[in-house]
Amino acid sequence: MGAYDKPDDPPSRDATVVIEVAEPLGEPRLHRSFPAGLEELEIYVQEVVWGVHDSWIRPDEGKWSYTYHQRLFAYDVIDDFADSPSGGPFGPVDQVAAMVDELGECGYTRRAQAITWMPTVDLGHAEPPCLQRVWCRLVDDGSVERSGPGDRRGGRAARLVMNTHWRSRDGYKAAFMNMVALTTLQAEIARRLGERLGRQVGLGRYVDISDSFHIYGSYFDEIERNFLSLMERRSFDERTWRTDDVADLLLMGRVQLLNGKPGEPPLTEAHVARLYASLPESHRALVDEACRPGSKPERPAQ
């Protein structure tokens, strides 16, 4: 791996990897040994699927240059990151909405995809996006027959399948959270498509393709201690969580988003309203008064 490793670190391991998940929302869904907290996982899902951190895109201030949500839901071609605040000449494109429209018109289309790569700014950039492309299609689930060759919507009982293609991937510290977020996005696209078609759209398989799925040598010991050794000593049930079993901790991620931290840009009013409405009363009580719907939080700068 060359320059990716420090002189005293073991060489990193790298492979091209394809992972297929037959039931993307099947339980138990969560692995206990992923190297982050459940609150952090929920915040990341909110970032990717609903764009809670799009306001952090401030490359002119030395901050984020993009988010996956921004590239998927508001892809805006620019030729310099300094143009981010004003946008590019063509205007933002909601690629996810376009995918829903494509699939709504023709469920078996091969054209329902969204990309993140923007060569005008990503070539030569220090942190270009790892996620490159999302592709979806409707497939019949076999429970009913198609109404005939003219049924372009993929049959009444349809499932949405998703493929994601990644340029580069930290197999230990990023891949799991990536997959949870992208399968959550798959479910959201299925929900929107179901609303458009006026019928339920289920979830089909999820395929995750990484050109470079790598493990850095600098944390081989950590992986052995916190992951591999536990795989040997613990049963499957002891290594996993069902989502319902850790729902309180996931909800605390939403509370943390609402309360924010000093120096962070505040959430938009729309995000505040959506997140607050999603909380049960027990968790709403943990949200600071100044961070609830109808207030205008002013988070002090660091």
- The proportion of the chain whose per-residue pLDDT surpasses 70, expressed as a percent, equals 91
- Predicted pLDDT of residue 259: 97
221 with 284, same domain: the answer is no
* Tally of structural domains, the chain: 2
Give the DSSP letter string of 81-104: GGGTTT--SS--B-HHHHHHHHHH
* Band of residue 149 on the pLDDT scale cut at 50, 70, 90: very low
133 with 199, same domain: the answer is yes
DSSP 34: S
| Residue in 195, 200, 203 with CA at minimum distance from that of residue 161 | 203
Tens digit of each residue's pLDDT (9 = 90 or more) over 40-75: 999 999 999 999 999 999 888 888 999 999 999 999
Tens digit of each residue's pLDDT (9 = 90 or more) over 269-279: 999 999 999 99
Average pLDDT over residues 195-210: 96
50 with 128, same domain: the answer is yes
Domain-embedded: residue 236: no
Residue 152 pLDDT greater than 80, yes or no: no
184 with 106, same domain: the answer is yes
133 with 271, same domain: the answer is no
Distance CA 34, CA 49 (A): 20
Domain-embedded: residue 3: no
77 with 180, same domain: the answer is yes
Q: Which residue has the higher pLDDT, 2 or 282?
A: 282
225 with 248, same domain: the answer is no
| Domain assignment of residue 274, given as a range | 242-296
Distance CA 281, CA 266 (A): 22
Q: Which of 229, 257, 278 is the last residue of a domain?
A: 229
155 with 41, same domain: the answer is yes
pLDDT, the chain, mean: 90
* Band of residue 221 on the pLDDT scale cut at 50, 70, 90: very high
Q: CB-based burial of residue 16 (10 Å sphere; 0-12 exposed, 13-18 middle, 19+ buried)?
A: exposed
Cα–Cα separations (whole angstroms), residue 197 to 101, 174, 254, 268: 10, 34, 31, 30
